[in-house]
Amino acid sequence: MRIIAGTCRGTTISAPRGSHTRPTADKVRGAIFNILGDVSGLAVLDLFAGSGALGLEAVSRGAAAALLADIGVAATAAIHKNMEKLKLEGVRALRRDYLPVMKQAAKKGERFDLIFVDPPYAMHRVIGPELSRWLPRVIAPGGRIVVESDSREEVTLPLELVTDKVYGDTRIRIFMAV
């Protein structure tokens, strides 16, 4: 895995070992950022961050700040290793589950311009109601939420769906807060 563009272009990053994390392929990550366009100055939240590749890619491309959250010990270790290697400013990492992260952000009034949601694919059905409840509370007006899922999975949020693309067995949906 590597950072595709921006100040850290071409730098390889580590992914957590084991089968609990499924890193977003470089090709799919590149497609996501081609769809998103300029991310300069955005505040980013990367839930289920794994290696942190999506949030780190955003900051490499000019995002102002990123909060990378994952509950896994190996994932959090990989994120910290990648942060140390890339030396990007404005990046924070938390070893915490997605729901407490969103609840705390909502309580503090934090809003994010770009949120990545890439949980283990089998979790979407279980966490869908919580995502639908809490994501609208932490997304900034006009902000976008990128949801990665299995290509056969139907994921919905109470926000406007602006993009729905399939790349092999991966489906990318981008929702916008209006």
> Does residue 19 carry a pLDDT above 60?
no
Assess contact for 139 and 177: CB atoms under 8 A: yes
Q: How confident is the model at residue 21 (pLDDT cuts 50, 70, 90)?
A: low
Helix residue spans in the chain (DSSP H) = 26-36, 53-60, 73-86, 98-108, 124-138
Instruction: For the chain, give every domain's residue range.
Output: 26-176
Taking a C-beta distance cutoff of 8 angstroms, is the pair 60, 6 a contact?
yes
pTM of the model: 0.95
Contact 160, 178 (CB under 8 A): yes
22 class by beta-carbon count within 10 Å (0-12 exposed, 13-18 middle, 19+ buried) = middle
48: region left, alpha or beta (phi > 0 left; psi from -120 to 50 alpha): left
Euclidean distance between CA atoms 83 and 139, whole angstroms: 24
Q: CATH homologous superfamily for 26-176? A: Vaccinia Virus protein VP39 (3.40.50.150)
d(CA 93, CA 52): 9
Residues 57-66 have pLDDT tens digits of 999 999 999 9
